[in-house]
Structure 1
Amino acid sequence: MAILEVNKMNKTYIGKVNYEALKNITLSVEEGEFVAIMGPSGSGKTTLLNCISTIDAPTGGTIHINKISPYALKEEELAAFRRQQLGFVFQDFNLVHTLTVQENILLPLALDRVAQDVMMERLAKVTTILGIQHLLTKRTFEISGGQAQRVAIARAIIHEPTLLLADEPTGNLDTKSVKDVMQLFTTVNQDMNTTILMVTHDAYVASFCQRVVFIKDGEFYNEVYKGNNRQQFYQSIVDNLAFLGGVTHDFS
């Protein structure tokens, strides 16, 4: 079943000179898939993610998430849809520094007034998967960047979203933390069957995914699938980026 369906989507920014950021984008992501979007700076990949996440409305075409068109919803319905159907992981973590790690993770459930016993059950589940049980009483300024991203991932998945969206989630991390965090994304994808769509500029990061979609100048360019050989998959990503003028990362 397709969790995400984008059909002939366009996005034009209106100004003194109109700028067509996305042109006729069609994309489908199946339940349980882990997909990366790649392309050079200015290619439209973040704009695409913003339209899917309902941060920015498309100019034309349609988007359906779990068979629902978010842009057909009223404002209150859309806010509830975001909280319940979508999870977000950002480059700069977006944690609330006045809250403890536990309070940050539980925030989406608290906003939806989920019962306390359900909250604690889900907290135990996600913190065990992500290996951060020992951090729950700490403040965010007391933990490392890699630990902070784990907390951000836990907050994004605790309400068991239909679709997890990640925008350059490893951009602020050192090499070891990048590998750790991407292994965690893989675990979340496989153990919780979470559907993930991630924007990245990094070929190494993208090699953890099952499929990579490339866009150039706001249009679909190509896509490659992982198959059984990650090294070959990585090389395919690098080759496509070379044509596009993108950025790569050493494979290890």
Structure 2
Amino acid sequence: MSILEVKQLEKIYCGKVNYTALNGVSFDLEEGEFVAIMGPSGSGKTTLLNCVSTIDSPTGGQIIVNGKEPHELNNDKLAKFRRQELGFVFQDFNLVNTLTVEENIILPLTLDSIPEKAMNKRLKSATELLSIEDLLKKRTFEISGGQAQRVAIARAIIHEPSLLLADEPTGNLDSKAVKDVMDLFASINKSLHTTILMVTHDAYVASFCSRVIFIKDGKLYNEIHCGHNKSEFYGKIIDMLSFLGGERNDLK
């Protein structure tokens, strides 16, 4: 079953000179897939994620999430769709500093008026999975970057979304925290069967996925599947990024 269908997606930014950020991009994500989007700077990968996440609207084409077309919904229905169908994890965590860790995590459920008993059950499941039960009463400024990203992930999965979207989720983390967070994403993908779409410039991070989609100049360029050998997969990702051009650190 396809959780995400992207059909001939087009995004044109209008100005004195029109700029085509996406041009005829099509791909599907099956339920339970873990997929990365990669490409050189300016390739359109963030624009693609923004369109899928409904942060931005496409100029043409279709985006279907779990059988629904979010860009055809009115504002109220779209807000509800985001809360129920999508989970978001960002590079800068986007936690609310005035709330405790617990209050940050249950925020999506509070907005949907979920009963307290159900809320506590989901909170327990998410925090145990992410090993952050002892952080619940802390404020966001009292925890490390790696812990903050765990909290952000817990908030993103607590409402059991159809699709989890991650934008450079390890960009602000040190190397140990990067491995920890990616192990968590892999665990969530396997244990909860959560479908994940992630933008990253880091080949190591992408090697945790089952498939990598490469875009260049706003078009789908290639894709690589993991298979059984993760180190071989990592090597293929490095080779493809080198082939696309630019130093590794420029591929953002």
**Same fold by TM-score greater than 0.5:** yes
The one-letter amino acid paired with 1:75 is: N
The number of equivalent residue pairs is: 249
Distance (whole Å) between structure 1 residues aligned to residue 111 and residue 100 of structure 2: 16
Q: Which residue in the other structure is 2:243 paired with?
A: 243
Shift in Å, 1:84: 0.4
Q: Which residue in the other structure is 1:161 paired with?
A: 161
Contact 1:40/1:247 (CA < 8 Å) preserved in 2? Answer: no
Contact 1:39/1:246 (CA < 8 Å) preserved in 2? Answer: no
TM-score by length of 2: 0.98
Q: Which residue in the other structure is 1:132 paired with?
A: 132
Q: Which residue in the other structure is 1:74 paired with?
A: 74
Superposed structure 1 runs of 4+ greater than 3 Å apart: 246-249
Q: Which residue in the other structure is 1:219 paired with?
A: 219
The one-letter amino acid paired with 1:158 is: I
Shift in Å, 1:248: 4.3
Distance (whole Å) between structure 2 residues aligned to residue 239 and residue 120 of structure 1: 46
Contact 1:207/1:230 (CA < 8 Å) preserved in 2? Answer: yes
Describe the shift of the 1:128–1:134 C-alpha distance in structure 2 as closer, same or farther (beyond 3 A).
same
TM-score by length of 1: 0.98
Distance (whole Å) between structure 1 residues aligned to residue 246 and residue 201 of structure 2: 7
Contact 1:203/1:234 (CA < 8 Å) preserved in 2? Answer: yes
The one-letter amino acid paired with 1:127 is: T
Contact 1:35/1:196 (CA < 8 Å) preserved in 2? Answer: yes
Question: What are structure 1's unaligned runs of at least 5 residues?
Answer: none
Task: Describe the superposition over 1:98-117 as per-residue Cα deviations: whole angstroms up to 9, x where unpaired.
Answer: 10000000000000000000
Describe the shift of the 1:247–1:49 C-alpha distance in structure 2 as closer, same or farther (beyond 3 A).
farther
Describe the shift of the 1:39–1:129 C-alpha distance in structure 2 as closer, same or farther (beyond 3 A).
same
Deviating more after overlay: 1-10 vs 238-247: 238-247
Distance (whole Å) between structure 2 residues aligned to residue 97 and residue 246 of structure 1: 37
Q: Which residue in the other structure is 1:189 paired with?
A: 189
Contact 1:202/1:247 (CA < 8 Å) preserved in 2? Answer: no
- Across the aligned residues of Structure 1 and Structure 2, the Cα RMSD in angstroms comes to 0.9
Shift in Å, 1:77: 0.5
Distance (whole Å) between structure 1 residues aligned to residue 97 and residue 233 of structure 2: 39
Q: Which residue in the other structure is 1:14 paired with?
A: 14
Distance (whole Å) between structure 2 residues aligned to residue 23 and residue 239 of structure 1: 24
Match of 2:208, SS state, is coil
Describe the shift of the 1:238–1:125 C-alpha distance in structure 2 as closer, same or farther (beyond 3 A).
same
Aligned residues: percent identity?
67
Alignment of 1:73-222 (within 5 A): 73-222=73-222
Contact 1:9/1:23 (CA < 8 Å) preserved in 2? Answer: yes
Describe the shift of the 1:127–1:219 C-alpha distance in structure 2 as closer, same or farther (beyond 3 A).
same
Distance (whole Å) between structure 1 residues aligned to residue 178 and residue 224 of structure 2: 22
Q: Which residue in the other structure is 1:230 paired with?
A: 230
The one-letter amino acid paired with 2:151 is: V
Distance (whole Å) between structure 1 residues aligned to residue 192 and residue 79 of structure 2: 24
Shift in Å, 1:71: 1.1
Match of 1:161, SS state, is coil
